[in-house]
Amino acid sequence: MPPSPQLDEARAILQRVYGFKAFRGLQEDVISDVLEGRDALAVLPTGGGKSLCYQIPALIRPGCAIVVSPLIALMSDQVDALKQVGVRAERLDSSMDFNARTEALNAAQRGEMDLLYVSPEGLGTGLAQRLAGMDVSLIAVDEAHCVSQWGHDFRPDYRALGRLRELFPGVPRLAVTATADTRTRDDILAQLQLTDPALHVASFDRPNLTLSAEPKGGGRTARVVQLVKARGGVSGIVYAATRKGTEDVAEALERAGIPALAYHAGLDAEVRSERQRRFLLEEGLVMCATVAFGMGVDKPDVRFVIHADPPKTLEAYWQEVGRAGRDGEPADGIALYGPSDMARSLSWTHQGDAPEEVKRVQLTKTRQLFAFLNGDECRRGAVRRYFGEEKVEPCGVCDVCTAEPGQAHDATRWAQMAVSAVIRCGQKVGRGRLVLHLMGTTKDGFDEQLSTQSTFGVGKDLPKAGWDRVFDALLFDGMLAEGGDLMRPSIIVPDGEAARALFRGERTLMLREDVAAARKKPAKGRS
Ligand code: ADP
Ligand code: ZN
């Protein structure tokens, strides 16, 4: 990069104001573009230091910077931190009273403000007009993936941000996010109407993370206790899907002599901030939390993140697991998952009131997540490819990379039988009856009409537990899907082309265990 006086100034600010020695990763490249007045999109991992990418140019360029941020809590954290180092920053959000807002706005208009944080919905109102009348140095859009319905956290309020281009002509705009796959990136550029944007995408690799995923057996909480115990006395986070889940896990850990706290949105704000404070200060404390915990929590020595229930999407997974090992020392990410988690996630989406298009994206993301969890691809490699990285080497340390060879069993024959049975039964039959049909059972769920189909009884030699695994795998894989009534779903074949590839033997189903030998006991977690 050619020497530039502005970059020298940026470096000086980094040291004087923030007390950091050098820029990290792509920070310098991003800052250099913004200083030149260029539009840019920066995709940097959590903890990558995105905020400095706009804060430092805001201190150098004349005028006040506008930072669009979706969460009041994040805004106030950043504003407080900035004020502490003597930067003139304020926020304008709905939680503030009229006077405080007016004062902040007036100060900005008088040119006495370096950064002004606003919510996206705030910009939809007359506020935007007032801001447009003042001297603006740059506009930063934080969590920019929220603008895209291909992203994992689409927020309709973000759509209005496309107008920024006309409202603030000539003002450089910087979009930043930690998670955006290729499609989401393109959409951010289009929605925000960035002009000739510079694109900065950091590698998503986190070499110090050892990742694994395992099917939930019977005792999920007991398994979590076992995993935590095996790591002995270090700080970690256990994510659970429900408030009760967080409390159950915390109690079980306490009973096992491991200091643990629950954290969820149902607790008083005071209790929450006290627990968060303890987690940051104390060593060896395990936080059992819903996803309400973690945003803006910057504890470098978190040694593990365990998902007692699976995350919502791969984006969420990477963000949550990314809270482990920020100090660069080894850390573990372990996810537990089961087919009922996937079914629940799909049905929530179905029942939600998002527009049809958004639902379809969410359903795809759910399936991609479970295909990843249940898949046989290097964990870190799979995530990096998901985020659009090419030429990715296997990590060599995850459960998949270290699995003993010979563990993969070809279950394609069973998969073919299952998919043909679904088709023969008209894609109208539930999973339980399909298994009975394949096993040729004439007892409980016997259906005379279906028994005339050629698939009746073809799978006699596979025990029920084996069929359960095959159906799980096909559902995770997306070869089969649940359709019709959500409470009593029938199994369907969503993609005829994929099914034909399976019948031709071009697509296979590999499983880690030999299903023909499966017994009726719950799957044992691998340690
Ligand atoms: P992000 O928003 O990308 O998750 P932040 O901007 O909150 O990350 O930065 C994460 C942490 O890293 C913060 O504590 C921040 O002060 C610190 N940080 C940022 N840039 C640097 C740097 N160049 N050197 C050292 N620490 C940095
Ligand atoms: Zn690997």
Give how far Cα 252 sits from Cα of 260, 266, 305, Å: 9, 20, 17
What local confidence, expressed as pLDDT, does residue 520 receive? Answer: 44
**What is the distance in A from the centroid of ligand 2 to the CA of 393?**
8
What local confidence, expressed as pLDDT, does residue 130 receive? Answer: 85
Model confidence at 295: pLDDT above 50: yes
The tokens for 135 are 């001297």
Model confidence at 404: pLDDT above 70: yes
Please tell me whether the interface predicted TM-score (ipTM) of this complex is above 0.90.
yes
Task: Please tell me the residue having the least CA distance from ligand 1 atom 26.
Answer: 20
383 contacts 318 by C-beta, under 8 angstroms? yes
Query: How does pLDDT run across 255-294, given as a tens digit for each residue?
Result: 999 999 999 999 999 999 999 999 999 999 999 999 989 8
What local confidence, expressed as pLDDT, does residue 521 receive? Answer: 43
Model confidence at 475: pLDDT above 70: yes
From 52, 117, 174, mutation site for ligand 1 pocket: most ligand atoms within 8 A of C-beta: 52
What local confidence, expressed as pLDDT, does residue 289 receive? Answer: 97
Per-residue pLDDT band for 45 (boundaries 50, 70, 90) equals confident
pTM of the model: 0.73
48 CB under 6 A from ligand 1?
yes
What local confidence, expressed as pLDDT, does residue 498 receive? Answer: 87
**What is the distance in A from the centroid of ligand 1 to the CA of 502?**
47
**What is the distance in A from the centroid of ligand 2 to the CA of 281?**
32
What local confidence, expressed as pLDDT, does residue 74 receive? Answer: 83
What local confidence, expressed as pLDDT, does residue 208 receive? Answer: 96
Per-residue pLDDT band for 526 (boundaries 50, 70, 90) equals very low
Least confident of 19-28, 183-192, 288-297: 288-297
Query: How does pLDDT run across 430-473, given as a tens digit for each residue?
Result: 888 999 999 998 776 667 777 888 899 999 999 988 898 898 88
Any idea which ligand is nearest the CA of 327?
1
CA dihedral 453, 454, 456, 458 (to 10 degrees): -170
Query: How does pLDDT run across 151-182, given as a tens digit for each residue?
Result: 778 888 898 898 889 999 999 999 999 888 88
Model confidence at 478: pLDDT above 80: no
Task: Please tell me the residue having the least CA distance from ligand 1 atom 18.
Answer: 49
366 CB under 6 A from ligand 1?
no
Tell me phi and psi for residue 481, to 5 degrees: -145, 165
Per-residue pLDDT band for 356 (boundaries 50, 70, 90) equals confident
What local confidence, expressed as pLDDT, does residue 364 receive? Answer: 79
Per-residue pLDDT band for 69 (boundaries 50, 70, 90) equals very high
Model confidence at 524: pLDDT above 80: no
173 contacts 39 by C-beta, under 8 angstroms? yes
State the burial class of residue 377 (Cβ atoms within 10 Å of its Cβ: 0-12, 13-18, 19+): middle
Model confidence at 488: pLDDT above 90: no
Query: What is the rounded average pLDDT of the residues 381-397?
Result: 86
Query: How does pLDDT run across 320-351, given as a tens digit for each residue?
Result: 999 999 899 999 999 999 888 988 898 888 88
Give CA–CA dist 283/287, Å, rounded: 11
Helix 379-386 vs helix 314-321: angle between axes, to the nearest 10 degrees?
A: 120
Task: Please tell me the residue having the least CA distance from ligand 1 atom 10.
Answer: 47
298 CB under 6 A from ligand 1?
yes
Per-residue pLDDT band for 523 (boundaries 50, 70, 90) equals very low
Query: How does pLDDT run across 418-430, given as a tens digit for each residue?
Result: 999 999 999 999 8
